[in-house]
A and B are shown apart, each in its own frame.
Chain A
């Protein structure tokens, strides 16, 4: 129980961050994020950017899977749609990033709408399989529609420009990536305080009951697919500016699975959890790599087992979280916070 947390206006009661403490921590986090790129090395900066991009896509997936209960194994393909649209507009037509990227989001949104249509008739396992089909078909289009996507050679993309400055280094694009990630996380958190967001949750909890209470199932599910794919599309556009090239191998089924892993490890139906999950799932293989390099003198041939070990640990992580901590890192975080709330006066 929080003590001394009085509200005197509705605005204060409705605030996203309700206590002074949480606002102070948020401000500290903001300052740390702003200072970080000047202190961190290239490698950490690269990782931070990667996480920022992936976090946006993972947020989208959590809106769909965690909050609306629709499983998608095709999220990476929607990211690819956004990435290719952005790349084509930026590289072929020379449009600036603030046009190309939202256009990428919009086109992914449309693709999500098309592949979301089956969700009215099917759900659960069947929907999962339908989204696998979306993934396979879209991947094939990326690789074979040579006139637009450049086939397996892909498209090279010029860097984004803001106020005449080319965002061509990890340091320069860092601020764009992180501010977009923060913006999208904030928007997602607010989404679930609106009628639309509440309808998503109602559909997840019991779709038939939701319909009886006046939620239009078809519109809600399609809207969820669209918003989720829009997030993926924006992430795809950022990805393009971040890696400066886009090829069909960038968006395989394994990436879709990785997004699902982030959402599950972080916590289904938790915005905060999605961010934790993204960091965790991205860092684990990197830590494994670092550990392998550090112990090279002891186990000289450990390097050759690195790739399969990543697979094993990735799989074990998913299985372990599902069995032992189904609500993910978000729940662990909340438990820790509760423990310290009245510490040391309560055991």
Chain B
């Protein structure tokens, strides 16, 4: 029972961070219908921006985070303008491959700029563990989780209550109508990429603060695919719930099944087995909208 509770709690914590990364996928998919396979690499770059600001410029964490957010936002907008816009309306394969190409470029550039070495963040969070009843959370799990939840809440509220957020939701709902109502679709596209890059950067910083950063960090992005599909590709609430469910599933599978398997690694593969199941039964996920095709 002790183990179960501990696994559940760390599952929820992992899930919160997964949800934040998943939101990066969802924001872009909602607005432009593209799955951004470079999300992981955007995370990695965001984490490196923050790390560089903290170590090279000796900036305090809050300032470094703002630097990383601004830089990531600019990068996201630039990527959308230069690479994605010429491919608007092209075949799915082109759009998928272009983001995969981008991820290779980002990874290579990061390795050239910061070398392939593993680096750890300067200590950011207070060291004392957080105690919740009988469960003890190490501080390097508790604070990142709080940051992730705060970021998700912020973006969610922004979508709900700001003018820009409303424009973005309208575009996601019906592009042609939104355009007819005077919404600048192109601005929405570029804003979506910026916003997605920013959420990716924040999640990159959070993950980097937990376990250190290297150009290989981007590989995490792939592990978020099951989360996004479970929640529904175009649902932010779904990303949140999907993140938590997948985080728990992963931790339970890791905790109970890994010791039974000789080679281990069940933790990594279990979400993908679940993914195949979801795609077979309910491809649009928990809260995604069903695609209806008309000729």
What residues make up the interface of A, taking CB atoms closer than 8 Å to B? 65, 69, 71, 117-118, 121-122, 124-126, 128-130, 132-134, 136-137, 140, 143-144, 146, 151-152, 206, 208-209, 253, 257, 260-261, 264, 268, 305, 307-319, 322-323, 326
Contacts and interface: CB of A to CB of B under 8 A. Distances in A.
A27 B255 CA distance: 62
B275 A133 contact: yes
B280 A132 contact: no
B276 A316 contact: no
B265 A136 contact: no
A309 B111 CA distance: 9
Given A151-B263, A264-B97, A322-B87, A312 B92 contact: no
A226 to B, nearest CB: 18
A268 B92 CA distance: 13
Given A146-B263, A151-B263, 12 more contacts: A118-B276, A118-B280, A129-B35, A129-B229, A137-B273, A140-B268, A143-B265, A257-B100, A311-B107, A315-B103, A315-B104, A319-B101
Contacts of B93: 65, 69, 71, 260, 264, 268
A303 B217 CA distance: 23
A137 B101 CA distance: 23
A310 B107 CA distance: 10
B17 to A, nearest CB: 20
A143 B229 contact: no
A215 to B, nearest CB: 15
A311 B263 contact: no
A71 B99 CA distance: 14
Contacts of A264: 93-94, 97
B83 A319 contact: yes
Interface of B: 35, 83, 86-87, 90-94, 96-98, 100-112, 116, 215, 222, 225-226, 229, 233, 261-265, 268-269, 272-273, 275-276, 279-280, 283, 293, 295
B35 A144 contact: no
Contacts, number: 146
10 shortest A-B CB distances, which residue pairs?
Answer: A311-B108, A315-B104, A318-B101, A312-B108, A315-B105, A308-B111, A144-B263, A308-B108, A124-B92, A140-B269
B269 A137 contact: yes
Contacts of A209: 295
Contacts of B279: 118, 121-122, 126, 129-130, 133
Contacts of A136: 222, 268-269, 272
A316 B105 contact: yes
A250 B56 CA distance: 39
A175 B293 CA distance: 49
A117 B229 CA distance: 18
A321 to B, nearest CB: 9
Contacts of A310: 108
Given A133-B275, A136-B269, A144-B261, A309 B112 contact: yes
B72 to A, nearest CB: 18
